[in-house]
């Protein structure tokens, strides 16, 4: 029976075409991912080169004043991108994976991004996670919506019922064949991805694969549940497509709207204002209070004073820049806290909806999620602070530019390890799927013999 059901499946042109289209869409998504990784690599290589070149030029142009030189010099920090990002680009296309900053005030520089084609940001990328989350379910729906109803509508069901003492077994094999065929395409694509995108086979990739398999499994469980209702093909298709629209479009948009309403961030705007006022206004104010505040922040630099009666000094200039950050610090912290709350809320709410949960999980594994970006920003703050602490004394003592070995300032890298919480990642998908199958079992038990 199994062999013949498989034969029947393989001989169906429609189903085979579906698998082929799915496979091709997957290949296209892998290519998009490859392109994204290559572009990022290129940006990093070029920046590494131009950072050295630009420092050398600036040293040449401003050989006398280290304070002036450091006005210009930029230091780059890379948010290292695992190749898994090629499968789930996530926020990496909006948030830059490389930030170059001067030691001037940081707040203004944090959100300065590359020039981007806004079209890409509007449409998003058709990466593998998109194909998995949006396209795989559609194929699964097309494969399963008429699992029983085609038998009823084509007239074979009555003969099946009269012959078989266990028609459920046949249906199980039917859906299993479909499940395995979709799984084969999924695994094949991931294997191609492994080599094409040079993804190391580590815990993150394994978790990625398992999450993808469970997500596909969930849609089959849902299709199995809908089949157990014994509705006709058009009703089944309607129920499944409505589920698709709800799970992949309506609920994510709804949760997003809810998050924005629950945790509004007026701080985003006020941080910018505070930061700007924090230093711009200092030009019109007496210099001493600014320097005094700076000394409060960094007592270790108390011995450096603003020369009395002078209009300008590098100490005052960098103290003024520092105020841009210091006066916005409270708002910036509140902003971060809000973003963390938003994140926590959507990841909790997402657990009940496989599409959201899968997207968030895949992005977390690929380090392309909001958490990674916020960690990177924190790292950038440290990086920036280290550079300040290193250069402040040199600026204040007017150290000679030539005494510094400028060649040592290459790109620095922030490398995060994804934290994999296996239970939190896999259990929600598993529970929902099992629930679907359990309800289906109850339903099938009741009505299976009805023609």
Partner 1 sequence: MLQAKNLTKTYGEQTALNSLNLTINEGEIFALLGQNGAGKTTTINCFLGFIQPSGGSASINGVSVAENALETKKYLAYIPETVMLYPNLSGIENLEFFSSLAGFSYGKDELSSFLSKAGLQNTAHNQRVGGYSKGMRQKVGIAIAIAKKAKALLLDEPTSGLDPKASNEFSEILRELAQNGTAVLMATHDIFRAKEVANRIGIMKEGNLVSVIDAKDISANELEKLYLQTV
- Nearest in space to 420 (alpha carbons), one of 366, 368, 373, 374: 366
CA angle, 385 then 389 then 391, to 5°? 115
Encoded tokens for 281:
């206004």
The smaller minimum CB distance to partner 1, of residues 152 and 282, is found at 152
Quick one: which segment of 4-12, 205-213, 217-225, 361-369 binds partner 1 (CB under 8 A)?
4-12
Helix (H, G, I), strand (E, B) or coil at 245: helix
d(C-alpha 159, C-alpha 300), whole Å: 90
Give, in order, the Cα–Cα distances in Å from 408 to each of 39, 56, 76, 282. Answer: 26, 11, 12, 34
CB of 23 closer than 8 Å to CB of 189 = yes
- Nearest in space to 112 (alpha carbons), one of 334, 377, 382: 377
Quick one: which segment of 6-14, 334-342, 407-415, 417-425 binds partner 1 (CB under 8 A)?
6-14
| 8 lines the binding site for partner 1 (CB under 8 A) | yes
d(C-alpha 202, C-alpha 364), whole Å: 15
Smallest gap, in angstroms, from Cβ of residue 375 to partner 1? Answer: 54
Smallest gap, in angstroms, from Cβ of residue 169 to partner 1? Answer: 9
Quick one: which segment of 151-159, 289-297, 369-377, 397-405 binds partner 1 (CB under 8 A)?
151-159
- Nearest in space to 47 (alpha carbons), one of 85, 76, 12, 82: 76
| 164 lines the binding site for partner 1 (CB under 8 A) | yes
The smaller minimum CB distance to partner 1, of residues 115 and 450, is found at 450
Q: 326 forms bridges with which residues in the sheet?
A: none
Helix (H, G, I), strand (E, B) or coil at 179: helix
E strand map for 80-206:
98-101
The smaller minimum CB distance to partner 1, of residues 2 and 385, is found at 2
Quick one: which segment of 8-16, 132-140, 323-331, 380-388 binds partner 1 (CB under 8 A)?
8-16
d(C-alpha 282, C-alpha 121), whole Å: 37
Select from 60, 154, 284, 308 the one that contacts partner 1 (CB under 8 A): 154
Sheet containing strand 412-414, strands side by side: 98-101, 75-79, 412-414
Smallest gap, in angstroms, from Cβ of residue 232 to partner 1? Answer: 16
The smaller minimum CB distance to partner 1, of residues 163 and 348, is found at 163
At how many degrees (to 10) do helices 251-262 and 314-350 cross? 130
Smallest gap, in angstroms, from Cβ of residue 25 to partner 1? Answer: 25
The smaller minimum CB distance to partner 1, of residues 171 and 193, is found at 171
| 446 lines the binding site for partner 1 (CB under 8 A) | no
Encoded tokens for 164:
């078989």
Instruction: Give the x/- contact pattern for partner 1 in 9-28, rule: CB under 8 A.
Output: --xx----------------
Instruction: Give the x/- contact pattern for partner 1 in 392-431, rule: CB under 8 A.
Output: ----------------------------------------
Select from 156, 256, 302, 382 the one that contacts partner 1 (CB under 8 A): 156
Select from 16, 56, 159, 258 the one that contacts partner 1 (CB under 8 A): 159
H or E element that contains 374:
helix 370-396
Encoded tokens for 280:
């711009």
Smallest gap, in angstroms, from Cβ of residue 158 to partner 1? Answer: 6
Quick one: which segment of 22-30, 153-161, 210-218, 408-416 binds partner 1 (CB under 8 A)?
153-161
The smaller minimum CB distance to partner 1, of residues 159 and 273, is found at 159
Enumerate residues 6+ apart whose C-beta is below 8 A from 96. Answer: 79, 113, 114
Q: Which residues bind partner 1 (CB under 8 A)?
A: 1, 4-5, 7-8, 11-12, 154-156, 158-167, 170, 449-451
């Amino acid at each position: 029976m199994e062999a013949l059901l498989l034969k029947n499946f393989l001989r169906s042109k429609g189903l085979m075409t579906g698998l082929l289209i799915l496979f091709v869409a997957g290949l296209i998504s892998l290519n998009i991912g490859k392109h994204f990784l290559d572009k990022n690599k290129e940006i990093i290589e070029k920046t590494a080169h131009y950072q050295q070149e630009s420092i050398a030029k600036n040293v040449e142009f401003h050989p006398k004043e280290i304070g002036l030189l450091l006005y210009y010099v930029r230091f780059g920090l890379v948010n290292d991108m695992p190749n898994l990002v090629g499968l789930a680009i996530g926020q990496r296309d909006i948030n830059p994976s490389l930030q170059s900053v001067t030691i001037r005030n940081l707040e203004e520089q944090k959100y300065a991004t590359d020039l981007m084609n806004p079209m890409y940001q509007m449409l998003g990328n058709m990466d593998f996670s998109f194909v998995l989350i949006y396209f795989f379910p559609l194929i699964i729906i097309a494969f399963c919506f008429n699992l029983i109803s085609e038998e009823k509508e084509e007239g074979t069901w009555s003969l099946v019922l009269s012959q078989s003492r266990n028609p459920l077994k046949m249906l199980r094999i039917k859906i299993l064949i479909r499940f395995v065929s979709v799984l084969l395409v999924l695994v094949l694509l991931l294997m191609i991805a492994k080599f094409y995108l040079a993804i190391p086979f580590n815990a993150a990739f394994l978790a990625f694969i398992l999450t993808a398999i469970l997500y596909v499994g969930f849609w089959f469980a849902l299709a199995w549940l809908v089949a157990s209702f014994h509705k006709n093909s058009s009703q089944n298709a309607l129920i499944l497509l409505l589920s698709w629209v709800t799970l992949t479009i309506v609920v994510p948009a709804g949760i997003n709207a809810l998050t924005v309403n629950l945790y509004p961030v007026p701080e985003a705007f006020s941080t910018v204002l505070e930061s700007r006022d924090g230093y711009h206004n200092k030009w019109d104010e007496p210099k001493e209070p600014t320097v005094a505040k700076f000394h409060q922040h960094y007592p270790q630099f108390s011995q450096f004073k603003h020369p009395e009666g002078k209009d300008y000094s590098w100490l005052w200039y960098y103290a003024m820049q520092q105020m841009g950050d210091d006066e916005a610090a409270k708002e910036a912290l509140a902003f971060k806290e809000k973003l963390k709350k938003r994140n926590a809320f959507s990841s909790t709410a997402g657990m009940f909806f496989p599409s959201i949960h899968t997207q968030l999980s895949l992005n977390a594994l690929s380090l392309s999620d909001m958490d990674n970006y916020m960690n990177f920003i924190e790292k950038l703050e440290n990086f920036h602070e280290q550079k300040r602490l290193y250069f402040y004394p040199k600026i204040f003592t007017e150290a000679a530019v030539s005494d510094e070995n400028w060649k040592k300032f290459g790109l620095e890298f922030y490398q995060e390890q994804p934290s994999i919480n296996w239970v939190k990642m896999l259990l929600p998908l598993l529970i929902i799927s099992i629930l679907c199958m359990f309800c289906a079992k109850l339903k099938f038990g009741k009505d299976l013999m009805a023609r």
